[in-house]
Structure 1
């Protein structure tokens, strides 16, 4: 395979694993992030040292097996940022997957491999994970549709854990209908008939302010246009409660404590095997004390309660999916840190509360895509997916 292919795919076939029969996803080509078990193949976690010690998986992850049973083909195993602990989409060992929607820029992470495969047309959908934005950020940077479902709605069995309290199976696609078709298979059974229809689109000014000026300028018209298209009343409020910076810092600490529980022993036993950015993140995770973890978890839980109280069942919250468009791989370090900080403050909101979040490719800044994120109440995943289909002008799915 070419160098570009190696940055996108760890293994690729024609297909790598064929789907079973002619189910509802027959013909859909999947790029599976290298944190999901694929039977007969090793799980690499974006790290060559981990891969070298891995043995072929005996069974598929629940999500992979379910999609195969619905007829989808696994085209290949796509690259991930190491241990899925990054939002950038770069990998010090395998390279940076291309971003055809923003040439020369990163694809976002940690599901950057699946996002690149879909954006390049080498797959129809990407199966990944989302802990703190790992589907939402690549969807935003690559101009794709993405869904982080309600926490626990889709079993994470057979998926490499990062921080289990926040980990979700997640997926992205080029179009809203394909995204929804995967949701029909992966999400708990039951339609949207019993749910109150969405009537209000909330906008919190303090959240929009976390984004760059270009995104802020694009967000107003994009949010208003989406609300008008869907027949929603827009309600703008100063804040949903809490300080975004404090909430993000607490989430990062709580997440880091779980990351170290999951992978700290292996990292400690394999010094020098991580890329610089991920290594620094693990070093900070190792330093989290039990007292810091407890205090952080209290802030995260408070933030979740505040968000749930501010978000009625018939409302959605609109916000930028990322603080800016995809950065350059060699972006100035201060600028890169500011972009990551602003984006993390936006993405941790749904993660901390366990809420579903849909990303729609509805903004452009200097010709580069930025996603519009839509957060709704727990269990409203299917209604969110239908919202995405309607927003694309395709009507409700049959």
Structure 2
């Protein structure tokens, strides 16, 4: 297979990049690793050539990578990411935008863009990525894949480059629910919370944030599951607080390196880091106060129930149209991020046949049960 540089940064022309180190439930599976994870003998590129050039060769695998290898999976290669995982489009100013095999001519979704495309194209069976503000759930929706953002902190992030530690999670994607769940057997701890058998909750206000065709597809799945309508929606201040705290933490993580290297970034990501640099201590503290209060409200409202909502507000946009959908999508994705909650994206299709995603958000610590519940959903 000839590597597509939009999809892969490192891909051997024959054989896996790294062979399995053990056997287990992932025997025979292949993994596309997002270019934020340490792979022994390789550098972390973070989607930025200047960072890659200065990066050291990693001496050991990231914790999640090592677990997958020990369970029988092979690493197919290192797949492209958007710069520092600070975007949701999939576009990388240096390497290009990975194609979307399920919706040709439309963007792939990011920032776990390369791994998602590799899985959708059948070049790997598991995509190992990160999800801070939707970076697993959005490409899952755009490319018709299954994807999970686990409970915050459930999967150790040792050896993974951070963006915003208050929201960063290690997530993964697959073409089917069974592979997604088997990967969870390897990466997730035992559940520490219960999951109610009640039908899922459905907020019409959240459904209305999506484009009509996406809302209709998610609504069809909700009706099939007998979802219970609930009068609830995020408060208007939540998204701004989420983005402000994310920005402050992103600059804390990378500002020292980026200080005199902002010109190495693509324009969209550069704009986000420019905003991040301007966030003062008082603004960040105020945002944290809102996030902490919102987290408590989300968790109290959800209890042990499952909340069903769109994974992204639209189908995959065409190039140049992605920013228009960003705000509505983040109003949806920030709920699990603020709550620190697990969220599984289930693929659905619109009436025109385009892929979209229905997201199941569950209680913190009920990740395995949520994966099992998600596997019972069909559009």
Shorter chain as denominator, the TM-score bin is: over 0.9
Displacement, 1:205?
Answer: 1.9
Residue equivalent to 2:360: 374
Contact 1:360 1:372 in 2 (8 A): yes
2:229 to 227, 236, 239: 236
Question: What's the secondary structure of 2:6's corresponding residue?
Answer: helix
Alpha-carbon distance in 2 for matches of 1:140, 1:97:
15
Residue equivalent to 1:262: 253
Matches within 5 A, 1:89-238: 89-189=90-190, 195-225=194-224, 227-228=225-226, 234-238=227-231
Contact 2:195 2:369 in 1 (8 A): no
Alpha-carbon distance in 1 for matches of 2:323, 2:351:
19
Displacement, 1:365?
Answer: 5.0
Matched, 1:73 2:74: yes
Matched, 1:350 2:336: yes
Q: 1:391 to 1:237 in 2, by over 3 A?
A: closer
Alpha-carbon distance in 2 for matches of 1:293, 1:207:
27
2:316 to 317, 326, 337: 326
Question: What's the secondary structure of 2:23's corresponding residue?
Answer: coil
Alpha-carbon distance in 1 for matches of 2:248, 2:346:
31
Alpha-carbon distance in 2 for matches of 1:341, 1:271:
24
Question: What's the secondary structure of 2:5's corresponding residue?
Answer: helix
Question: What's the secondary structure of 1:74's corresponding residue?
Answer: strand
Q: 1:120-142 deviations in whole A, cap 9, x for unaligned?
A: 00000100000010000000000
2:306 to 302, 316, 338: 316
Matched, 1:385 2:371: yes
Alpha-carbon distance in 1 for matches of 2:28, 2:195:
34
Q: Which runs of 5+ in 2 are unaligned?
A: none
Contact 1:30 1:72 in 2 (8 A): yes
Residue equivalent to 2:83: 82
Contact 1:363 1:372 in 2 (8 A): no
Task: Return the TM-score normalized by structure 2.
Answer: 0.96
Contact 2:195 2:366 in 1 (8 A): no
Alpha-carbon distance in 1 for matches of 2:25, 2:217:
37
2:264 to 255, 273, 277: 273
Question: What's the secondary structure of 1:269's corresponding residue?
Answer: coil
Task: Return the TM-score normalized by structure 1.
Answer: 0.92
Contact 1:176 1:392 in 2 (8 A): no
Q: Give the RMSD, CA atoms, in angstroms.
A: 1.6
Displacement, 1:249?
Answer: 0.9
- Larger displacement relative to structure 2 (211-220 or 8-17): 211-220
Alpha-carbon distance in 2 for matches of 1:306, 1:368:
34
Q: 1:392 to 1:20 in 2, by over 3 A?
A: farther
Contact 1:102 1:368 in 2 (8 A): yes
Contact 1:136 1:359 in 2 (8 A): yes
Q: 1:392 to 1:216 in 2, by over 3 A?
A: closer
Alpha-carbon distance in 1 for matches of 2:128, 2:256:
27
Contact 2:217 2:348 in 1 (8 A): no
Displacement, 1:196?
Answer: 4.6
Alpha-carbon distance in 2 for matches of 1:189, 1:246:
34
